[in-house]
């Protein structure tokens, strides 16, 4: 906002995403207060509070403490609901006590907020819900995203997301799922589900069309926030820290992932000075925390691989033998052909291109990779490293025939033109 | 400079599906819009009106009668006003053009304050 500063200078700037994050917090809080069967009521009260701000602040200005203002209005809205709905008559004293507890400054307010949100995320990841229901419900309630925003992030229609939400809420009501955190084995399973949803969210955002939809980049931020919420809570397990480390390392690279022209820049070509140092530091800190205990998950290994990249000041300093060993570990935990392909890239740096091409030849027989554009793409890269531009070009053409995103397609074209300058299509 | 009253009529359906993020952006635009006027010393007043139709007072058949104000689910409701300074009607209209009120279907009535 340009302009000289004057005594009447505005408006307290609003913290980025304040409304969205407060919406999520307040929905979690009110769902706890009203009871999980009244989730939709909680959402209504919160939406009304935000609308009041939208209608009021343009005239009165942004209040000194916008979050507190929203909370107060939401509380009053909740009290109104109490008066109007007979369903709450029996519990009204208890609910009023809960509502006012938030304003009691002798309570450790910070934990109370995070506790509500944590319970909400765990509820949204209940095993009775399908994965896409868990993701949609988490984003809508704790995330504070709207139906159109979620729809655009996942490239589906608003109606599809609405349906997922309706079904998810109905399932939770029918099974009377509550906000109590599970124990023992149930907790372990639920935590796995929560981490899965969080990582799904993160990947959705990370693989966003370069330069395009900003909402999808916000998904990375939200995933990281939820991950830290879990990792900092009493129910955290080493895997939680490993996941946060992995996401932090990847998110650190986001500023370098897209160039000035909006084109995708791969890891080995990124300007590493653009990597977010704070996030890299968070990654190392969380990786450290994740090593407390015997548990070793795929998140641990992926985070360790990302850490090796993060620790290399230039691509040439990358310790590829270490990465190769880690990929061996990863493959042992999860024998996926996609991981085998990624391992092949590391293998090429350690044992040479031909060794990698041998592995790729085997992978080409795997039907799981039949439509995976990265297989011919990686092969093309390796062949062009060998100097066989003709064969490389053929690989890139094969890759272009397979599904991939627009920025990736443009990258493939660039590679193709490097091998075959006459290619104009 | 002459003063103009901006009467902001709300479209009741406006903010049905707007996300928290979008609401914040609109508020930020309002702050920016208002600040531009304030920094130029051209913002004089602004108030929100309460969300009810109010009352209408008139004399009829020799008596003062009070009725409820105009209310309709579909009609626009007067939500608030600003009083700004501008060199001319054209300039007052220019100022209204980028008022965020217009973004979600609201309308702005611009009337000059008569200085006698």
Write out the DSSP string of A212-265.
S-HHHHHHHHHHHHHHHHHHTSTT--HHHHHHHHHHHHHHHTHHHHB-TTS-B-
Q: Do A3 and B35 touch (CB under 8 A)?
A: yes
pLDDT of amino acid A52: 92
pLDDT of amino acid A9: 45
Q: What is the pLDDT of residues B95-114, one digit of tens each?
A: 999 899 998 788 999 999 98
Q: Do A19 and B32 touch (CB under 8 A)?
A: no
Q: Do A8 and B39 touch (CB under 8 A)?
A: yes
- What gap in Å lies between CA A91 and CA A30, rounded to an integer? 14
Cβ atoms of A376 and A399 closer than 8 Å: yes
| Rg, Å, chain B Cα set | 17
Dihedral angle at the C-alpha atoms of A308, A314, A319, A324, nearest 10 degrees?
Answer: 70
pLDDT reading at A318 higher than 90: yes
Which candidate, B103, B89, B105, B116, places its Cα nearest to that of B6? B89
Q: Do B21 and A50 touch (CB under 8 A)?
A: no
Q: Do A22 and B20 touch (CB under 8 A)?
A: yes
Give the strand pairing for B77-85 and B3-10: antiparallel
Length of chain A in residues, anyone?
425
Which candidate, A386, A372, A380, A290, places its Cα nearest to that of A339? A372
- What gap in Å lies between CA B86 and CA B1, rounded to an integer? 6
pLDDT reading at A405 higher than 50: yes
- What gap in Å lies between CA A402 and CA A380, rounded to an integer? 14
Measure in Å the smallest separation between the Cα of A96 and chain B Cα atoms: 26
pLDDT of amino acid A89: 83
Q: How many C-beta atoms lie closer than 10 Å to residue A387's C-beta? A: 10
Which candidate, A372, A320, A375, places its Cα nearest to that of A348? A320
Q: Out of A9, A55, A144, whose CB is closest to B20?
A: A144
- Report the percent of chain B where pLDDT is more than 90: 59
Please give the helix or strand (H or E) that residue B79 lies within, else none: strand B77-85
Cβ atoms of A32 and A99 closer than 8 Å: no
**C-alpha torsion sign, points B16, B19, B20, B21:** negative
Measure in Å the smallest separation between the Cα of A10 and chain B Cα atoms: 6
Q: Do B38 and A6 touch (CB under 8 A)?
A: yes
- What gap in Å lies between CA A63 and CA A47, rounded to an integer? 18
Which candidate, A220, A209, A133, A142, places its Cα nearest to that of A171? A133
Measure in Å the smallest separation between the Cα of B39 and chain A Cα atoms: 7
pLDDT reading at A8 higher than 50: no
Q: What is the pLDDT of residues A83-136, one digit of tens each?
A: 888 888 888 888 888 888 777 655 445 556 678 999 999 999 999 999 999 999
Q: Do B48 and A3 touch (CB under 8 A)?
A: no
Q: How far apart are the first and last CA of chain A?
A: 44
- Which conformational region is residue A111 in: left (phi greater than 0), alpha (psi within -120 to 50 degrees), or beta? alpha
Please spell the DSSP secondary structure of A254-272, one letter per residue.
HHHHB-TTS-B--GGGS-G
Q: Where are the alpha helices (DSSP H) in A254-402?
A: 254-257, 277-290, 298-310, 320-333, 337-351, 353-363, 374-386, 389-400
- Burial letters for A194-229: b for 16+ Cβ neighbours within 10 Å, e otherwise? bbebbbbbbebbbebebeeeebbbbbbbbbbbbbbb
Which of B27, B101, B104 would best serve as a mutation to test chain A binding (most A beta carbons within 10 A)?
B27
Q: What is the pLDDT of residues B20-33, one digit of tens each?
A: 999 999 999 999 99
pLDDT of amino acid B53: 77
Measure in Å the smallest separation between the Cα of A12 and chain B Cα atoms: 9
By CA distance, what is A11's nearest residue in B? B31
| B23 neighbourhood in chain A, CB within 8 Å | 19, 50-51, 53-54
pLDDT of amino acid A208: 64
Q: Who has greater pLDDT, A332 or A154?
A: A332
Q: Do A19 and B46 touch (CB under 8 A)?
A: no
DSSP state of B14: T
User: In the structure encoding, which two tokens stand for residue A10, read together?
Assistant: 């505005």
Q: Do A58 and B30 touch (CB under 8 A)?
A: yes
- What gap in Å lies between CA A284 and CA A291, rounded to an integer? 11
pLDDT reading at A10 higher than 60: no
User: In the structure encoding, which two tokens stand for residue A291, read together?
Assistant: 């090593």
- What gap in Å lies between CA B42 and CA B30, rounded to an integer? 15
Measure in Å the smallest separation between the Cα of A213 and chain B Cα atoms: 14
Please spell the DSSP secondary structure of A72-140, one letter per residue.
HHHHHHHHHHHHH-GGGTTTHHHHHHHHHHTT-TTS-HHHHHHHHHHHHHHHHT-TTS-HHHHHHHHHH
- What gap in Å lies between CA A160 and CA A244, rounded to an integer? 30
Measure in Å the smallest separation between the Cα of A211 and chain B Cα atoms: 19
By CA distance, what is A50's nearest residue in B? B20
pLDDT reading at A417 higher than 60: yes
Q: Out of A4, A14, A22, whose CB is closest to B27?
A: A14
Cβ atoms of A254 and A215 closer than 8 Å: no
pTM: 0.82
pLDDT reading at B58 higher than 60: yes
pLDDT reading at A49 higher than 70: yes
Q: Do B19 and A146 touch (CB under 8 A)?
A: yes
Long-range (24+ apart) CB contacts under 8 A made by A154-160 are A154/A204
pLDDT of amino acid B24: 94
Cβ atoms of A349 and A320 closer than 8 Å: yes
Q: Who has greater pLDDT, A362 or A98?
A: A362
Which of A56, A58, A150 would best serve as a mutation to test chain B binding (most B beta carbons within 10 A)?
A58
Q: Do A4 and B39 touch (CB under 8 A)?
A: yes
Measure in Å the smallest separation between the Cα of A401 and chain B Cα atoms: 38
Q: Out of A18, A56, A62, whose CB is closest to B31?
A: A62
Q: Do A51 and B20 touch (CB under 8 A)?
A: no
Q: Do B23 and A51 touch (CB under 8 A)?
A: yes
Measure in Å the smallest separation between the Cα of A14 and chain B Cα atoms: 7
Q: Do B21 and A9 touch (CB under 8 A)?
A: no
Which of A20, A54, A144, A219 would best serve as a mutation to test chain B binding (most B beta carbons within 10 A)?
A54
In three-state secondary structure terms, B5 is strand
């Amino acid at each position: 906002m340009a302009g000289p500063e004057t005594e009447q200078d505005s408006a307290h700037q609003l913290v980025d995403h304040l409304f969205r994050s407060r919406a999520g917090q307040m929905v979690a809080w009110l769902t706890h207060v009203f009871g999980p069967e009244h989730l939709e009521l909680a959402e209504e009260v919160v939406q009304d509070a935000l609308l009041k701000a939208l209608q009021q602040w343009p005239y009165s200005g942004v209040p000194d403490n916008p979050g507190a203002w929203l909370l107060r209005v939401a509380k009053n809205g909740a009290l109104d609901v109490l008066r109007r709905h007979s369903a709450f008559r029996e519990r009204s004293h208890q609910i009023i006590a809960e509502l006012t507890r938030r304003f009691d400054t002798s309570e450790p307010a910070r934990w109370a907020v995070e506790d509500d949100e944590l319970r909400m995320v765990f509820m949204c990841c209940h095993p009775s819900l399908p994965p896409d229901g868990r993701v949609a419900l988490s984003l809508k309630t704790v995330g504070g995203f709207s139906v159109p925003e979620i729809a655009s992030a996942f490239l589906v229609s608003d109606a599809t997301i609405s349906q997922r939400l309706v079904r998810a809420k109905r399932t939770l009501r029918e099974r009377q799922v509550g906000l109590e955190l599970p124990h023992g084995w149930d907790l372990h399973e639920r935590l796995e589900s929560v981490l899965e949803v969080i990582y799904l969210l993160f990947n959705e955002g990370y693989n966003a069309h370069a330069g395009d939809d900003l909402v999808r980049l916000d998904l990375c931020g939200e995933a990281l926030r939820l991950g830290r919420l879990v990792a900092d809570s009493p129910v955290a397990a080493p895997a939680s820290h490993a996941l946060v480390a992995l996401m932090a390392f990847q998110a650190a690279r986001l500023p370098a992932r897209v160039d000035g022209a909006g084109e995708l820049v791969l890891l080995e070509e990124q300007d590493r000075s653009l990597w977010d140092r704070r996030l890299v530091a968070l990654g190392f800190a969380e990786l450290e925390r994740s090593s407390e205990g015997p548990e070793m998950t795929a998140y641990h290994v992926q985070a360790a691989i990302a850490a090796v990249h993060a620790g290399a000041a230039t691509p040439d300093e990358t310790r590829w033998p270490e990465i190769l060993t880690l990929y061996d570990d990863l493959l042992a935990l999860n024998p996926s052909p996609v991981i085998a392909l990624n391992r092949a890239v590391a293998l090429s740096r350690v044992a040479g291109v031909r060794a990698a091409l041998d592995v790729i030849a085997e992978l080409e027989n795997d039907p799981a990779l039949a439509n995976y554009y990265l297989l011919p793409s990686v092969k093309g890269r390796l062949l062009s490293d060998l100097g066989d531009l003709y064969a490389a070009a053929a690989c890139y053409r094969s890759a272009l025939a397979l599904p991939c995103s627009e920025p990736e397609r443009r990258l493939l074209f660039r590679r193709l033109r490097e091998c075959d300058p006459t290619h104009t299509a | 400079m002459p003063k103009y009253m901006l009467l902001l009529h709300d479209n009741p359906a406006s903010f049905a599906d707007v996300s928290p993020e979008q609401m914040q952006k609109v508020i930020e635009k309002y702050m920016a819009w208002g600040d531009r006027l304030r920094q130029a010393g051209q913002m004089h007043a602004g108030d929100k009106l309460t969300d009810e139709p109010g009352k209408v007072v008139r004399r009829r058949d020799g008596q003062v009668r009070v009725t409820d104000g105009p209310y309709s689910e579909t009609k626009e409701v007067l939500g608030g006003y600003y009083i700004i300074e501008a060199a001319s009607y054209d300039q007052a209209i220019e100022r209204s053009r980028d008022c965020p009120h217009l973004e979600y279907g609201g309308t702005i009535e611009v009337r000059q304050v008569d200085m006698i």
